[in-house]
Amino acid sequence: MHEWSIADSIVATLLQLVERGGISQPIKRVVIQVGKLVQIEKDILLFALRELSKNTPLERTEFVLKEEDTVFRCNNCGYTWSWDDVVKELEREIQDKDLRKAYLESMHMVPSMIYAFNKCPRCGSTDFEIIKGFDLSIEKIETQ
Amino acid sequence: MSLEYYRNLITSRFRDVNKVLMICSGKGGVGKTFVSTCLSQALRDRGLSVGLLDLDIHGFTTHRLLGLRNPPKILEEEHPVMVKGLFYLSPVVLVEERALPLRGLYKEKAVIDLLACVKWPRLDYLVIDMPPGFGDEVTIPMRYLRHKSCAVIVATRDALSLSVVSRLIEVLRSEKLRVAGVIFNFSNIFKLDLSLDVDVVGEIPLIECVERALSEGDSPYERCIEVREVFSKLAERIIHRAEC
């Protein structure tokens, strides 16, 4: 549940852009893209962004979150799979709900930890790429 | 996300940390993790508030040197866990003893996220057990934390270790990281007398009890009085030099 920290850093970074003259016009809309792997609580992040923007030049900025599926590709056999497959596999492999929740929380906090819990469903290799939906990024900043 | 975003996030996470001690070595196997954990415990025993962060992503073993038989499995509310009077974060808390076969970009991102994922409380010292060498895992913490960090180098007095340490010192200097000095480990075994362009903080002989403690799952610092004596002196010298 580090949505507030993420929101705080997004707001701080945007305000720095404004203060340093990187953006001269008021910011109308910010589109944030987030991979499913990050398991963001969207409502909390949006609420935090709005709260932290109050009484700043971002007060009227609209924040939009776009969730993107996380897709993996095996470097060994070329197979591709998605975040939902990872979750299903975890449910199958780990019966203890609390432990499963702890592992998902680990990936929420440090998404790269997926490498400890994931492998190619076809050949079993851990040599895979995350071809999309790895991180959280600011996709677009629209000014007025 | 951008460099600035992570700079803001990591700065806020380390705001209450007074001094970061980065325990580095050019080569693996010189006792860096032994020094990181024992030094943390010795600083704690001086009544200081101490954190220990294990950034050795592929070879994390601080939990073993602390004698943790069942390391905590979860981070709560973005705080480091508390073990043996130390604020603590290691990959073992996130993935237990599972392998982390990270490469390239993912390794870089893992280090950044480990730096950014918890809010460290008010600490006199945060000791970071760095991975060996001077790859991403080493340069990333320097990038974000150099203003409040000192490097402590661990080496052995043999030709191979010393040649790599010289290169490590070159990198640390070019990154403008202050170097508190070098600690020579296994000093009763490796005795090559080559001068390095840094101060010697201290020497640690091979202490027989250490291996026995580790093989039985105990903390060498807790079990071996010789270890506590050596690190009590080292802690005092480090405190003095880290204020550089």
Dump pLDDT digits (tens) for B22-73: 999 988 888 999 999 999 999 999 999 999 999 999 999 999 999 998 888 7
Q: How far is B100 from chain A (nearest CA, A)?
A: 5
What pLDDT does B1 receive? 65
Which residue, among B219, B224, B214, B189, has the nearest Cα to B204 in the 3D structure? B189
The predicted-structure confidence for B106-161, as pLDDT tens digits, reads as follows 998 999 999 999 999 999 999 999 988 778 778 899 999 999 999 999 999 888 88
Chain A positions touching B73 (Cβ under 8 A) are 99, 102
Q: Are A53 and A76 in a shared domain?
A: no
B92 φ/ψ angles, rounded to the nearest 5 degrees:
-65, -30
In this predicted structure, which of B42-51, B63-72, B164-173, B222-231 has the lowest mean pLDDT? B164-173
Residues A44 and A59 both lie in one domain: yes
Encode pLDDT of A78-112 as tens digits: 999 999 999 999 999 999 998 899 899 999 989 99
Domain CATH for A61: 3.30.2320.50
Which of B2, B78, B106 lies closest to A2 in CB terms? Answer: B78
Q: How close is the nearest chain A Cα to the Cα of B65, in Å? A: 22
Hey, where are the domains in chain B? 3-243
> Are the C-beta atoms of B128 and B141 separated by less than 8 Å?
yes
Which residue, among A3, A37, A6, has the nearest Cα to A132 in the 3D structure?
A: A37
Query: Looking at the structure, do residues A126 and A138 belong to the same domain, yes or no?
Result: no
Which chain A residue has the Cα nearest residue B57?
A113
Report the residue of chain A nearest B79, measured CA to CA: A2
Interface test with B, best of A4, A5, A33, A38 (most B CBs within 10 A): A5
Beta-carbon separation of B113 and A134 below 8 A: no
Mean pLDDT by 10 residues, chain A (144 residues): 85 88 84 93 94 93 95 97 96 91 90 94 96 90 87
First-last CA distance in chain B: 34
- pLDDT beyond 70 at B173: yes
Contacts B2 to A, Cβ<8 Å: 13, 138
Contacts of B163 (CB under 8 A, 6+ apart): none
Q: Strands A136-143 and B86-89: what pairing? A: unpaired
CA distances from A103 to A2, A91, B108 (A): 15, 11, 20
Query: What pLDDT is recorded for position A1?
Result: 54
The residue range of the domain holding A103 is 71-131
Q: How many CB atoms lie within 10 A of CB B73?
A: 17
Question: Same domain for A9 and A52?
Answer: yes
Minimal C-alpha gap between A4 and chain B (Å): 11
Residues A96 and A126 in one domain: yes
Q: Does B102 touch chain A (CB under 8 A)?
A: yes
What fold characterizes domain B3-243? Rossmann fold (3.40.50)
- Are A101 and A62 in the same domain? no
Segment B208-219 shows an average pLDDT of 94
CB of A75 less than 8 A from some CB of B = no
SS3 (DSSP) at A50: helix
What ipTM does the predicted assembly reach?
0.86
What is the number of structural domains in chain A? Answer: 2
- Quick one: pLDDT at residue A36? 95
Q: Do A63 and A9 share a structural domain?
A: yes
A64 and A78 inside one domain: no
**Rounded to whole angstroms, how far apart are CA atoms B161 and B23?**
15
| B47–chain A Cβ distance below 8 A for any pair | no
Nearest CA-CA distance, residue A26 and chain B, Å? 20
Partner-chain contact B5 A10, CB within 8 Å: yes
Query: CA angle, B39 as apex, B33 and B43 as ends, to 5°?
Result: 150
Q: Is the pLDDT of residue B244 over 70?
A: no
